[in-house]
Amino acid sequence: MRNKLNFFGHSYYKKLRLVVFLSAGRKRDLGFRSGCLSRFDPQLTDFCESIWATNIVFFGMFRQKFLIAILLSCLLSGCEPADGQYRPPQRLASGWSQWGGSDRSFQIDLAPGGTSFKELWSRKHGNGQAAVISDGELGFSVFNQGDQDHVQSWRVDSGEIVWQSKYDVAYHSFRDDYDGPHSTPLLTNRLLITVSIDANVIAMDRKTGEIVWRRNLQKDFGTKLPQSGYASSPILVGDNIVVPTLGLGHPGAVALDAATGKTVWESYDFESSHASPIVIEHASQTHLVFHGMYDLVGLDPASGKRLWEQPLRTEAADNITFTPLWDSENKQILIAHGYCDFGAQAIKIFADGGNWKSKVQWTNRLIRTVHTNGVLHRGMMIASTRDPGKLLTGIRLVDGKTVFRQRGYGKANVLASENELILLDEGGDLIVGEIQEDKFVEQGRQNVLKSNAWTVPSIAGNVLLVRDRFSLAAIQITPDGLP
């Protein structure tokens, strides 16, 4: 009986002992970290922490009854996973732990007045354009050398490498400057998820770099690699990792269980793209949004079923990269594309008679992006265009009208704080400034990288983490005149 009763891979008998132990004990008697975890099992960390948090709030007999009710609920509902293994819930790590930051909006929390840049450290790095991620103390980066990708964890303040892992890759782009990993890793409380240029999804222990599981999107889901290789960045939705699989007669996206890599759902066969998906909340519905090759698509993240689909274009090359932006005030999704005379569009989504629908709200053909992102800032969408004039352009969110266009910001990626914009152009110039009277006013500029700096900066506190094709650097933002 004792061996058969399991949830989270542990006996109910042992869990009952744990509940009694925690509910009866006092804070000074428990010695929570050493007592609870060592007396029962290291894998019970998350369970113990949840019980301890409850123990702080509830007192006396009500507390004990509450804790025992938790146990009985698990007994009655049968919460054991199919493989009998304990699985702590997955959650996004704190800090800049995925492409575009915590909500993929490229917004940063930065104290006003930072106008100077100071290099803390820099070093040579392998090829690739995958952005850096960080939990605030540790940074994580991925790059290519020969037929292997290298994944590193390092200290933000010094660059000291904590661990390094590597794995084989079987594809190289037709152009050197398009080679190496493009997909930005994803950091959870347990795992570091990477996707290689040849579409292998690899989950590693975030503390050691040890590979936990891997999936081959080409073999498992029929992904056909574009000429520059796989580029979209994975996203965590609940306990699942969602990745575009490019479609072409196969699923456009799949959800994989973060703990095991097993398939949770497959979507219908829309053609997804290099662009990374986002999650938005709108009218009591969660929407998983993909900027596809020909359509903007909204899926239900719980099932992968289509909610809505907005046609965008009838022809497109292997170059759709712009991450959608959610304008919550105007209830619209912003996208842009540099080719096919597309420009920028606002797509309105709305419920109608129990169904979801979408429509184009406005179009502005002056923002035409390549290798760059955009941000929402002070009622505008701001992005750098691919035009020969190297134009930074701002357009109004409510109607798509152009507010400003300024030369000198070629293929610049952008971060936005409440007051400032931070730009990194393809020549490696790091620029800080703000919008004043409907124009961008520079407050500081410094060259920190070489050419092909096509990667969006990341941030850890007041330290920018930047890279180009072959180097990596940590740049501190300081008020002008301070060391």
In this predicted structure, the answer to whether residue 60 has a pLDDT above a threshold of 70 is no
In this predicted structure, the answer to whether residue 3 has a pLDDT above a threshold of 90 is no
Say what the pLDDT of residue 387 is: 66
Say what the pLDDT of residue 306 is: 98
- For 295-342, the pLDDT digits (tens) are 999 999 999 999 999 999 888 766 789 999 999 999 999 999 987 778
In this predicted structure, the answer to whether residue 410 has a pLDDT above a threshold of 50 is yes
- Please check whether residue 31 lies inside any domain of the structure: yes
**Backbone angles phi and psi of 89, in degrees to 5:** -65, 140
Return all residues near 431 (Cβ < 8 A) that are at least 6 apart: 409, 412, 422, 423, 424, 425, 442, 444, 445
User: Span 439-457, mean pLDDT?
Assistant: 93
Nearest to 245, CA basis, from 215, 224, 275: 224
In this predicted structure, the answer to whether residue 437 has a pLDDT above a threshold of 60 is yes
Confidence tier at 450 by pLDDT (50, 70, 90)? confident
In this predicted structure, the answer to whether residue 170 has a pLDDT above a threshold of 90 is yes
Say what the pLDDT of residue 314 is: 85
In this predicted structure, the answer to whether residue 180 has a pLDDT above a threshold of 60 is yes
| Paired tokens of 475 | 């740049």
In this predicted structure, the answer to whether residue 158 has a pLDDT above a threshold of 50 is yes
Can you give the chain as a three-state secondary structure string?
Answer: CCCCCEECCEEHHHHHHHHHHHHHCCHHHHCHHHHHHHHCCHHHHHHHHHHHHHHHHCCHHHHHHHHHHHHHHHHHHCCCCCCCCCCCCCCECCCECCCCCCCCCCECCCCCCEEEEEEEEEEECCECCCCCEECCCEEEEEEEECCEEEEEEEECCCCCEEEEEEEECCCCCCCHHHCCCCCCCEEECCEEEEECCCCEEEEEECCCCCEEEEEEHHHHHCCCCCCCCCCCCCEEECCEEEEECCCCCCCCEEEEECCCCCEEEECCCCCCCCCCCEEEEECCEEEEEEECCCEEEEECCCCCCEEEEEECCCCCCCCCCCCCEEECCCCEEEEEECCCCCEEEEEEEEEECCEEEEEEEEEECCCCCCCCCEEEECCEEEEECCCCCCEEEEEECCCCCEEEEEECCCCCEEEECCCCEEEECCCCEEEEEEECCCCEEEEEEEECCCCCCCCCCEEECCEEEEECCCEEEEEEEEECCCC
CB atoms < 10 A from the CB of 249, how many? 8
Mean pLDDT of the chain: 85
Q: Which residue has the higher pLDDT, 275 or 483?
A: 275
Residue with tokens 């110039």: 429
| pTM, 2 dp | 0.83
Count Cβ neighbours within 10 Å for each residue of 178-188 and write b for 16 or more, e otherwise: bbbbbbbbbbb
In this predicted structure, the answer to whether residue 27 has a pLDDT above a threshold of 70 is no
Say what the pLDDT of residue 69 is: 54
Say what the pLDDT of residue 43 is: 42
**Backbone angles phi and psi of 61, in degrees to 5:** -65, -35
Q: Which of 52-61, 379-388, 399-408 has the highest mean pLDDT?
A: 399-408
Q: Which residue has the higher pLDDT, 97 or 316?
A: 97
Confidence tier at 402 by pLDDT (50, 70, 90)? very high
Return all residues near 186 (Cβ < 8 A) that are at least 6 apart: 97, 98, 99, 133, 192, 193, 194, 233, 234, 235, 236, 241
Per the structure, the complete domain to which residue 49 belongs is given by 6-77
- For 260-299, the pLDDT digits (tens) are 999 999 999 999 999 999 999 999 999 999 999 999 999 9
In this predicted structure, the answer to whether residue 469 has a pLDDT above a threshold of 70 is yes
Confidence tier at 87 by pLDDT (50, 70, 90)? low
d(CA 23, CA 439): 61
d(CA 383, CA 415): 10
Query: What percent of the chain is modeled with pLDDT above 70?
Result: 80
Amino acid symbol at 251:
P
- Please check whether residue 55 lies inside any domain of the structure: yes
Asked if 482 contacts 116 with a C-beta cutoff of 8 angstroms, the reply is yes
Nearest to 453, CA basis, from 443, 465, 467: 467
User: Span 224-245, mean pLDDT?
Assistant: 95
Burial class (CB in 10 A: 0-12, 13-18, 19+), 313: middle
- Please check whether residue 100 lies inside any domain of the structure: no
The count of domains in the chain is: 1
User: Span 155-175, mean pLDDT?
Assistant: 96
- Please check whether residue 222 lies inside any domain of the structure: no
- Please check whether residue 330 lies inside any domain of the structure: no
295-299 and 380-384 beta bridge pairing: unpaired
- Please check whether residue 50 lies inside any domain of the structure: yes
- Please check whether residue 49 lies inside any domain of the structure: yes
| Paired tokens of 36 | 């609870």
Q: Which residue has the higher pLDDT, 400 or 89?
A: 400
Nearest to 454, CA basis, from 417, 428, 416: 428
What angle, 0 to 180 degrees and rounded to 10, lies between the N-to-C axes of helices 45-57 and 12-24?
Answer: 30
In this predicted structure, the answer to whether residue 47 has a pLDDT above a threshold of 80 is no
Cα distances (angstroms) measured from residue 421 to each of 108, 328, 390 = 9, 20, 17
- Please check whether residue 63 lies inside any domain of the structure: yes
Confidence tier at 25 by pLDDT (50, 70, 90)? very low
Confidence tier at 86 by pLDDT (50, 70, 90)? low
Asked if 462 contacts 115 with a C-beta cutoff of 8 angstroms, the reply is no
Confidence tier at 113 by pLDDT (50, 70, 90)? confident
**Backbone angles phi and psi of 186, in degrees to 5:** -125, 130
Say what the pLDDT of residue 371 is: 85
Tell me the CA end-to-end span of the chain in Å, nearest whole number: 67
